[in-house]
Structure 1
Amino acid sequence: MRVPLSWLAEYVELVPGTTPEDVHAALVKVGLEEEDVHTFELQGPIVVGEVLEFVEEPQSNGKTIRWCQVRVAPDGEQAADGGDAVHGIVCGARNFFVGDKVVVTLPGAVLPGPFPIAARKTYGHVSDGMIASARELGLGDEHDGILRLSTLGLDAPVGSDAIGLLGLDDAAIEINVTPDRGYAFSIRGVAREYAHATGAVFRDPVEQTPATDVSADGFPVVIDDRAPLRGRLASNAFATRIVRDLDASKPTPAWMIARLKLAGIRSISVLVDITNYVMLELGQPIHGYDLDALRGGIVVRRAEQGERFTTLDGKERTLHAEDIVVTDDRGPIGLAGVMGGAETEMGDTTANVLIEAAHWDPVSIARTARRHKLPSEAAKRYERGIDPTIGAVAVARVAQLMVDLAGGTADAGGSLIQTTPARDAIVLPDGFVSQLIGVEYTNDEVHDALAEIGGVLTRVDGGFSVVPPAWRPDLTGREELAEEVARLVGYHRIPSVLPVAPPGRGLTRSQRLRRQTADVLAGAGSTEVLSFPFATEAENARFGSVDGSPVASVRLANALDQSTPYLRRSLLPGLMAAAKRNRSRGLVDVDLFELGLVFLPELGRDYGSAELPVGDAKPSDETLAALDAGIPPQPRHLGVLLVGERIAKQPGQAAEPVGIVDALDAVRRVALATGAELEIVQGAHQALHPGRTAELRVGGRVVGYAGELLPAIAEENDLPRVVAVAELDLDAVIAAADPAVEASPIGTFPAATQDLSVLVDAAVPAAEVAAAVREGAGELLEHLGLVDDYRGQGVPEGSKSLTFALRFRAPDRTLTAAEASEAKLAGAALAAERTGAAIRD
């Protein structure tokens, strides 16, 4: 929210000399965070000038300039820049006449940009200054010609200061308004907060607007909400007022243009500017209808599903049954609380206006604004909550300004529908605020603070009964009231005490192992990434299924990107996108991993459609159970992707590209970090290269796959032919890992090494043979490694020769060769029994 200081000073006393920084410092005390200071960034001399004469001079480039003589000081006096009273100025605009009073920026002035002004030779003349346009002064976007004071209804002596005349000497503070404090989106609300912070006198603008006679039938209005959203009516307050015989061509006053500009709103026309001005002043959004374009009375209702409506921006929108619309006899004429319709907008020919100020259901307005992507200033206020009781005052204020500035005549009365329920009283027990905040507050301090914000307090047994003010919808319980006491009495009363962590708490086993896994992978050179958890249906079908069987996916009701409307079943698509993006930026060797959730609904299972609980009450156990039942499995996976070269080419060393071996190394690091016994066997996956795919098992359960992407998939994603990947269910790995695993002591006795070569059917995985040898060799076997897989001459067709390097060691003695051979043969015997492996001669 931007607040011009001159506007703020109308409703709260500012001590002379108060700077924007002073106002920021005061508002910070009551919890309004400072953002910025805005000014027009002008530096004089900028004065009122009078065009005495001009000569039009065509140029060789086809442009015609005017060589003007402009009086910038009274006769006999020196100009503000120290020069003569009459300056010669070259001007390219042609929308002014002799005798017009204009704004002249003299040499030495600085315009926004910054754009310094100096006397300079141009088009054969020395131009001693510049006649300024509204855009050059930072007053608006109009740049068709120079600014004539008569178009703003202004007049001032020649040579007088134009900065003050146009209101360009003002400044605005900008504050950050949190979602629960919508009342601070108004000058009224900020002025009240400044009064709280400083003790200055607050003058409520609502009380300064003359009262207007209103009735339910001043203008025909019907609230027809047959399907209230969560029991909330579309509107519980609706006020109107009519102003006739307006002159919409009249200029908006310079002071109003300047204030709107500083507040971040551009000037459009006098009628529209007045509605925006009152919205900023009171916090009540206003909408004006061209009364002559209306057909009959107004009916407020919910839209029909699929109903179409053209908004002020010229776009036809398909409405939702939850949207609130304002209609006349022809149909919708406004999307309530968000944007009006094109057919009834106020224009240059509007003579009679119907002014509307309503209070809409905040939830409906917030959803409508997001659904139609229309984040308007009005919607921003409605969805945060406005004062529902000031509609009649707001339309009276607009009518007053339209009469004063556009020459209209206001009807004597207006219409008002006011069904706003009375605020419920909140019981605040004595001592509750002190107990919650941790600071001793007296009953008088509690009473005075809550009365200052507008609360109505009544003394009851053991405490206060507090009725919050209408403009504070955020005050719904005693906790919020306690916060208000702490805020207004002063945060400085609250001591700074570091909390002491409860003993015995820390990371869970699962959290510790996940962090340990990430540390191990990062320590090995991998880079952790976080990708969006969204995917296409094709990606889920390709990577969420091993063999191409159908899978179910969770579709988002309101996807951020319609091209990826599903929650992911795999981490690999996100890793591929990250690799593609990095390679496009020149990082050709990429080693990535991600820890994240995947979403695995079961095909054909109905997860229900439990209704989300409202936020003003604790949900019941049944509600929570229904919500839990509607959540599909969400295991945490680990994904790994490597592409490029493991070792770069260098003198004496050929480049070594990455491959499945690197993906398996990453998987083994995960097993080491978690203490899991990981089994790697030959496998198959529809997205991975046949023959270069490993199935990952823990405790006999398949927990993932590793391998190389199919070259066609890699090419689709602009990646090299060889892309090594792995993905495993990290939750399952951690659950199956031995929590009591300990490091083995280093043996002090010599090791006995032997080799074992066996012949086995080529279809038998080497891992199965190794597992059998390891089990059969017993406790003396310290290490087993596959060192050769041979298929060729000397080996029968359909068979393969596997050679294992075995290392034996006893913890208490030196092994003999016979003991090592006996253990090796025991392992070979079990391998022969289970896999048909025969010792090779």
Structure 2
Amino acid sequence: MGDFVVLALPGSVLPGNFAISARETYGKTSNGMICSARELGMGDDHTGIIVFNPTQTGVARGSDAIALLNLHDVILDVAVNPDRGYAMSIRGIARELALAFELPFTDPISLAPDLPLNENADVTTPKLEAGADFIVLRSIDSVDASAPTPLWMVRRLQMAGMRSISLAVDITNYIMLEYGQPLHAFDKAKISGTLTVRRAGKTKTLTTLDGQEHPLNEGDLLIADDNGALALAGTMGGLQSEVTGSTTSITIEAAHFFAMDVAKNARTHKLSTEASRRFERGVDPQLPIVASARAVEMLTQFAGGRYLGGKSDGAPSTSQSIDFDPDYASELIGGHYSHDVVRNALSKIGAGIEIHAARWKVTPPSWRPDLTMKADLAEEVARIEGYEKIPSLLPPAPLSRGLTPLQKRRRRIAQFLADRGLLEVQNYPFISPETIEMMGFTGARARTYKIANPISEKEPLLRPHMVPGLIDTAVRNMGRGVKSMALFEIGSVFRAPETIPSPPHLGTDRRPTPDEIAALYASVPDQWLVVGILLLGDAQGDSWLGKGRKYGWHDAIALAQEIIELTGNVSTVHRSDFTPWHPGRCAELRVNGVPAAHLGELHPRVIAHYGLPPRSSAVMLNIGTLPVVGPTQVKPLSNMVPTIQDIALVVPADCEVSTIINALYAGGGELLERVELFDRYTGKPLNENEISYAFTLTFRAGDRTLTAEEAGLLRDAAVGAAATYGARLRG
């Protein structure tokens, strides 16, 4: 009796478009409804109605509950940049607003209670072994953990996007939003011995507050007691030490964890929490003492209890001073900033300044770990003064700059292929183990790198080959009705050595040694810049011009040879049997004897598996292996009539046609302008181990027309050179 409650009268509309009207209930007319938190959209609690504290200002019969519950409020959604961790709090936002509107700022931590640690035996003892430089523990007993969270706090948490869980958890979340310091509340009775921040080591698993069991890596950062892990440091607490409604004693933990360790925890276990996001961006190292005292104050206020005292380990880190020339801001930004303007701007952000003639020593405030160098300070001057004041001037154009030779080559090849009608695609450089196996890659061609945090668990490896990604793109477009395609992609493929060296751990206090730099480069994945091409379906469709034709292996060879010629190099064709190509229709192009490309018709197994058109062909050409060729002397065109002769040579079946062509060029000398293969024949009257090739030889001199006798001698010399490889004239 006598409680003040929320009454929704007929005509009211509650969240969910729930209209209140007079209705018969148990034979009586109900003229309204007394509301719970859930019915007002203030939380999930539906166990009881909202009861106001009679001492709250404005609480009286007939008062407006909307005003008392702060249901009419303005919510500002602030997008905080990753380097502005201090702004992920009311304290940080208020500081920035004061700067923007040139208003005085009162730091809320100056209003926090001055609560001494008062170390005694009843307080949990902290210990730092890794991953943090400062930790504070404060203990309270005789706590009523089941006490309700004040409605105003529930409402503020909700407006910040957080749901109310329990009084202890709500208080730690509220202070995190207020100050920017994540806290954690442990059930003190469930802590055995010392609370230690350490690596996981041999600890195998931890069940977090969300009920998920996480397998631990040796390097994970934990908060643990003498019996095992209690929390993933800076990320999420453990279920074992959770504060429940029956908890009577609580230990509040506030620590300054290192950003890198918390980031590793969050990414390894895929737990991006409000706490981890703040630690990753940098938390004020001075906050643990103040925030933990504020938590004790609020717990004792709303849950009763007795403060036992606190203990700490380590010490808050201090900001390193930066040598700063006040003229540097003008030099870097491009505007003019007087010394007074620079000093005023740096003072506004809380930096300490010691002026020594023309050199200043500037100490960034503890809440700005992102300020580490003089450029950071200059940027702050520009920000505080206003970016609109920076003059719009074009920077001077640098001399002798531009694309590297490899970048120019890549651009020329892409333009060349686009001019030939091919479409450029860009695929993710990832692949699945199943695809590697299906393609038939083995040995060095299958060795690659596993990604620690892959975008897709189905493709956890870096691609060792370009063709599979092109095939996936083709299959996806075939499903949309595209039956013929000519695709290309220029990008990196990755090949791992048999033993992958681990990168060295480099310090930040000195320059790496030459051996460390060499070891670092040795650990970088071996990347090849390659161009991949996939040709399938019709090269030219049927039309009134005549019957069309299909893409074939010869198109792949022609494109690859043209690309190599585009770079100023000359290639030779050799037999090959690399997967995923057809073993009898695969070729290798070599430049100066070094393999540069593999190409040909795809293996029937691959074509059948993906449902590709018959005779689909592919190319993978390593752009990086092609030598950079300097300017070449253009050979003048001759206006003399060429002499053309056809020959047919019978050669051993195991002799490559490229070998015969090279021999013909060598024997024919400078007057042999071109050798063209136009026929290949096997069968009777040839032996089973023989093949007949027919060539057109074009001879031309620059200063005269060759006589028939001269042309005959040149032809005989060319045939004689081919004879060294077992060739003979047919017929």
TM-score by length of 1: 0.77
Of 650, 674, 677 in structure 2, the residue corresponding to residue 759 of structure 1 is 650
Could you say what secondary structure the match of 2:76 adopts? strand
Secondary structure of the residue aligned to 1:300 is: strand
For residue 804 of structure 1, what is the aligned residue in structure 2?
A: 695
Report the CA distance between 1:204 and its aligned residue.
Answer: 1.1
Counterpart AA for 2:170:
D
Q: In the alignment, which residue of structure 2 is the partner of 1:214?
A: 117
Q: How does 1:26-65 map to 2 (within 5 A)?
A: none
SS of 2:555's partner is helix
1:174 aligns with 2:70: no
Inter-CA distance 590–572: structure 2 relative to 1 (3 Å threshold): same
C-alpha contact (below 8 Å) 1:212/1:414 kept by paired residues: no
Q: What residue number does 1:344 align with?
A: 241
Displacement of 1:213 in angstroms is 2.0
For 1:378, the aligned partner's letter is A
Alignment map for 1:307-346 (pairs within 5 Å): 307-346=204-243
Work out the CA distance in 2 between the residues paired with 1:791 and 1:288: 86
Identify which of 693, 698, 711 aligns with 2:591. 698
AA at the equivalent of 1:250: P
Q: Which runs of 5+ in 2 are unaligned?
A: 24-29
Q: Is 1:640 paired with 2:533?
A: yes
Q: Residues 542-597 of structure 1, C-alpha deviation per residue, up to 9 Å, x if partnerless? A: 8796xx55668343362515555544332223333333333344433232222222
SS of the aligned residue for 2:362 comes to strand
The one-letter code matched in structure 2 to 1:582 is N
CA distance in 2, matches of 1:130, 1:411: 41
Q: Which residue of 1 aligns with 2:27?
A: none
3-state SS of 1:484 partner: helix
Task: Confirm or deny: 8 A CA contact 2:323 2:360 kept in the other structure.
Answer: yes
Residue 238 of structure 1 pairs with residue 136 of structure 2 = yes
CA–CA distance in 1 between the matches of 2:137 and 2:258? 15
Q: Does 1:427 align with 2:323?
A: yes
Offset from partner CA, 1:407-444 (integer Å, 9 cap, x none): 42342744344512433333324533333334333333
SS in 1 for 2:724: helix
Alignment map for 1:783-798 (pairs within 5 Å): 783-798=674-689
Partner of 1:779: 670
**Which one-letter code corresponds to 1:662 in the other structure?**
D
Does the residue aligned with 1:685 lie in a helix, a strand or coil? coil
Equivalent residue for 1:596? Answer: 491
Aligned length: 722
How many angstroms does 1:373 deviate by? 1.5
Tell me, what secondary structure is at the counterpart of 1:194?
Answer: helix
Is the Cα contact below 8 Å between 1:252 and 1:269 reproduced in 2? no
- Of the candidates 181, 184, 203, which is equivalent to residue 87 of structure 2? 184
8 Å CA contact retained: 1:241, 1:356:
no
Tell which deviates more after alignment, 413-422 or 478-487.
413-422
Structure 2 match to 1:73: none
Farther off after superposition, 371-380 or 345-354: 345-354
Q: Whole-Å Cα distance in 1 between the matches of residues 39 and 716 of structure 2? A: 95
Distance 2:510 2:31 in 1: 71
Q: Judge conservation of contact 1:305–1:321 (CA < 8 Å) in 2.
A: yes
Report the CA distance between 1:312 and its aligned residue.
0.6
The correspondence for 2:617, drawn from 718, 724, 738, is 724
The secondary structure found in structure 1 opposite 2:416 is helix
Q: CA 1:769/1:192 → structure 2, altered by over 3 Å: closer, same or farther?
A: same
Superimposed CA distance per residue, residues 190-236 of structure 1 (whole angstroms, 9 cap, x where no aligned partner): 1111111221121211111221122344754444445x4xxxx5342
Q: Kindly state the Cα deviation for residue 285 of structure 1 after the two structures are TM-superposed.
A: 0.5
Cα distance change of structure 1 residues 150 and 287 upon mapping to structure 2, 3 Å threshold: same
- 2:466 aligns with 571
Q: How does 1:377-776 map to 2 (within 5 A)?
A: 377-404=274-301, 406-411=302-307, 413-417=309-313, 419-536=315-432, 553-556=447-450, 558-560=452-454, 561=456, 564-603=459-498, 608-614=501-507, 618-631=511-524, 633-649=526-542, 656-720=549-613, 722-733=615-626, 735=627, 738-741=629-632, 747-776=638-667
What SS class does the counterpart of residue 165 from structure 2 fall into? coil
Alpha-carbon distance in 2 for matches of 1:797, 1:328 = 82
Q: Which moved more, 1:608-617 or 1:767-776?
A: 608-617
Distance 1:171 1:673, change over 3 A: farther
Distance 1:609 1:282 in 2: 40
Contact 1:223 / 1:301 at 8 angstroms: preserved in 2? no
Describe the shift of the 1:118–1:515 C-alpha distance in structure 2 as closer, same or farther (beyond 3 A): farther
Q: Between the two proteins, what is the percent identity of the paired residues?
A: 36
The amino acid that maps onto 1:801 is: S
Offset at residue 692 of structure 1 (A): 0.6
Alpha-carbon offset, residue 776 of structure 1? 2.8
2:155 aligned with 1:258: yes
Per the alignment, in what secondary structure is the counterpart of residue 172 of structure 1? Answer: coil
Residue 835 of structure 1 aligns to a residue whose secondary structure is coil
Aligned residue for 1:677, secondary structure, equals coil
The alpha carbon displacement at 1:732 in A equals 1.3
Write the distance in 2 (CA, Å) between the matches of 1:136 and 1:743: 86
Cα distance in 1 between the residues matched to 2:372 and 2:309: 35
| 1:242 Cα deviation from its structure 2 partner | 1.8
Residues 776/218 of structure 1: CA separation in 2 closer, same or farther (3 Å cut): same
Contact 2:200 2:217 in 1 (8 A): yes
Q: Using a 3 Å threshold, how does the CA distance of structure 1 residues 772 and 416 change in structure 2: closer, same or farther?
A: closer
Change (3 A) 1:742 1:586: farther
8 Å CA contact retained: 1:828, 1:838: yes
The one-letter code sitting in structure 1 at the alignment partner of 2:727 is A
**Counterpart in 2 of 1:12?**
none
Q: Matches of 1:104 and 1:716 in 2, distance apart? A: 69
Q: What does residue 267 of structure 2 align with?
A: 370
Give, in angstroms, the shift of residue 265 of structure 1. 1.6
The question of 1:359 aligning with 2:256 is answered yes
Counterparts of 2:96 and 2:511 in 1: how far apart (Å)? 32
Q: Comparing 529-538 with 512-521, which one deviates more in the overlay?
A: 529-538
Does structure 1 conserve the Cα–Cα contact (< 8 Å) formed by 2:125 and 2:137?
no
Residue number in structure 1 paired with 2:26:
none
Relative to the length of structure 2, the TM-score reads 0.88
Alpha-carbon contact 1:288-1:353 (below 8 Å) kept: yes
Deviation of 1:377 (Å): 0.8
Kept in 1, the 8 Å contact 2:123–2:309? The answer is no
Q: How many Å apart are 1:340 and its aligned residue?
A: 0.9
Question: 1:624 Cα shift?
Answer: 1.5
Q: Could you say what secondary structure the match of 1:215 adopts?
A: coil
> Measured at CA, do residues 118 and 772 of structure 1 come closer, stay the same or move farther in structure 2, by a change above 3 Å?
farther
- Structure 1 residues 137 and 785, CA, compared in 2 at 3 Å: closer, same or farther? farther
Q: Tell me: CA distance 1:135–1:777, structure 2 relative to 1, closer, same or farther (3 Å).
A: farther
